[in-house]
Amino acid sequence: MPGRMLRTLALAEAVTLLILLFVAVPLKHLAGMPEATRVMGPIHGLMFLAFSWATIRSLSEGLIVGRDAVRLFIGACLPFGGIVNERWLRGKLAERAA
């Protein structure tokens, strides 16, 4: 279950980051709609905190190692990195289950 939650939160964090960067920020600066970032910013922040918590929990439970956690955090800071993280986690967890 923790692995599935980590994968889900990695994807949610990635999607909210992409919406923030490619929808909300342009709406704020090009269309004069600052509400877009006022709404999307906290949503993404909450997803990042939840993802961070799940990563630390997975590390403490031995699901991932320190190097994996660093990789996940770096990926979470890059656009599309969370999507790559989710796919990588899917493979890693399937490999571990086999």
Tokens of 87: 């796919």
Name, in order, each residue with C-beta under 8 angstroms of 12's C-beta and a sequence gap of 6 or more.
47, 50, 51
Residue 2's pLDDT is: 81
Supply the pLDDT for residue 1.
Answer: 63
How many Å apart are CA 61 and CA 24, to the nearest integer? 36
What are the mean pLDDT values of the chain's consecutive 10-residue runs (98 residues total)?
90 97 98 97 98 97 95 96 95 86
CA distance 59 to 24: 32
